[in-house]
Structure 1
Amino acid sequence: MKIRKLQRDEMPPYDLLLLADPSRELVETYITEGECYVAEDNDDIIGVFVIVPLTKETVEIKNIAVSEDRQGQGIGKKLLQEAIGVSKSNGYDNIEIGTGNSSIGQLALYQKCGFRIAGVIKDFFIQHYDEIIMENGILCKDMIRLRLEIQ
């Protein structure tokens, strides 16, 4: 598997980006504000992440996703570690990431990689998404914000 920065003339892998964020409008906004990276295996894009600067010290991982048929193989962890490495090499001190209250697997992964819960934005997914999001039998309402100090 190879992870590389998506070139400006390449079409972003919307099928993957929309797995992690069902709002194409939001996805299109932050992929233009940040940098998109893809994971490839045999020339197939199997994973993606997008990082967006928030301040001079802090970057946010706005999207991280793995093809459904490749989930559970450690690819998400590798993508997260690459995002941390890219952020550190670009001089950022902190990385933030947000996920739904119902995203149990993602919450576990982020904490295993050193992220700590920094806050909750109540009703974020109710206010910013037209469709109802259900995961693990739980209604996704709140955004859990996590933060990692990397410097």
Structure 2
Amino acid sequence: MSKLLGLLLSASCLCTSINANAVDWVALAESTDTNVQVYLDIDSIKPYEKEIMLDNSGGNYMSGFAHFSYLDDHEYRKKGWYYMQYYFIVNCDDNTYYTPVFNAYDAQNRVVDSHRNRYFTANDFNVAFPNSLGNFVIHDMCLFSRS
């Protein structure tokens, strides 16, 4: 009986640790013209509190992870990239974003390309145009950050 109790407690601890590190991917948008589906890890969204060089606006910055799945005839899919995960930093005040880190994965979930840029300024941020995938990411990151 004590072995069974120990086994149950061990399994319970294992499940707890797995759930504590789990992500919560929420589907944001699917672009029919570019064959991309976008998901946002809402559990990763938090204020970005590091100083951003050349930022004179004192913007409202948030950070979080996004997952872009490349469907069927997408140009990345032809290169063997099935999806990418990006670390986004967004400015909720001026609708701009920057992705200092990304990993590209193949069909077997292996990293096939990656990029990391530790040094960036506010000038490196991109404007997200209306109805673009970047705009959906910014909008929803800023929306979920207020929840």
**TM-score, normalised via structure 1 length:** 0.27
**TM-score, normalised via structure 2 length:** 0.27
Q: Which has the larger radius of gyration?
A: 2
